Amino acid sequence: MKVLVCGGAGYIGSHMVRHLLASGHQPVVLDNLSTGHREAVGDAPLVQGDLMDRAALAGLFAGTRFDAVIHFCARSLVGESVEQPYAYYDNNVGGTLNLLQAMREAGVARLVFSSTAAVFGQPQAPLIDEQHATAPINPYGASKLMVERILADAHRAYGLRSVALRYFNAAGADPSGDIGESHQPETHLIPNVLRSALGQGAGLKVFGDDYATADGTCVRDYVHVNDLAAAHLQALGFMDAHEGAHVFNLGNGQGFTVLQVIEAARRVTGVEIPFERAPRRAGDPAVLVASSARAREALGWAPRYSDIGAIIETAWRWHRAPRY
């Protein structure tokens, strides 16, 4: 298939491009390079453009016949979304509407959408499945949930087939070490832990040590970025046989505390990792762990990386010698 990968120069998108190439598909990357990296795209064609540019989108679809679209483009910083909600709704919802309209005009009727566990808000159960109430507590999560609702409406009105994949905590890097996670600013725990191990960054902080967890720190479900990419490939195949707008949670089904992640990184790196204890951050749930039973059953998806040490080891290869 010829697949348009929107945001294919970013962290998860670049791993997706590599999986598509390895599977014999033809990815074309659309990215404005505001947070993505040209070097991460590899041999795939790159179109530098923005979902906010309707004319450019129309020209892209007029010039190339795509079989499907995988959509990663989004602003994704939770704190920033609270400070700049208009920008988040404009980009994440408005940009997606531009993409969907261009797809409809070009007759492209299959989309895999990068959603998020932030659609759930405060968890009401130890394992979060797709039936869990959606009550996002920040504009980022709300913007992703709005797109999920738009996709359901688009199926009813236009016959669009879609799969929305709700990631929990994406982590790790391709084992080759050629591509990895490179954000500015970096807000994710594992890369910040590894930066601390390398003596980089402003210093690692652990936010809150009085939660009702094994060691008082937050518990999160970490899913390897290559496992996420594999799920997107399986979602493309799923749409061959299934109409409708579908949602799946993607996680390992087990959680690790912040201190457990730091200890696992210490074992991987062989370095004592200093950190500072800080007060809780507003809105941080104590535990966020996914039930991915539906994805396992319907997509045939199963994560290859379940051990937190193995996940961190792949990230460590990248962080020791980043290419961009």
Residues that are catalytic: 140
Residue 316 to residues 188, 201, 267, 303, 319, Cα–Cα distance (Å): 14, 15, 11, 19, 5
**Distance, CA of 257 to CA of 182 (rounded, Å):** 23
> φ and ψ at 139, to 5 degrees?
-60, -30
Question: Helices in the chain by DSSP H: which ranges?
Answer: 11-22, 54-63, 78-83, 85-88, 95-106, 139-158, 189-197, 225-241, 258-269, 293-298, 308-320
- What is the per-residue DSSP string for 51-80? TT-HHHHHHHHHHS--SEEEE------HHH
- Indicate the pairing of strand 110-116 with strand 205-207: unpaired
How far apart are the two ends of the chain, measured CA to CA in Å? 29
Residue 291 to residues 154, 166, 253, Cα–Cα distance (Å): 27, 11, 5
The total number of residues shown for the chain amounts to 324
Q: Name the residue among 48, 143, 145, 36 with its Cα closest to residue 91.
A: 143
Residue pair 269/197 in contact by the 8 Å Cβ criterion = yes
- C-alpha dihedral (91, 93, 94, 99), degrees to nearest 10: 100
Residue 281 to residues 78, 206, 207, 286, 289, Cα–Cα distance (Å): 12, 10, 6, 11, 19
Residue pair 208/218 in contact by the 8 Å Cβ criterion = yes
**Distance, CA of 173 to CA of 49 (rounded, Å):** 26
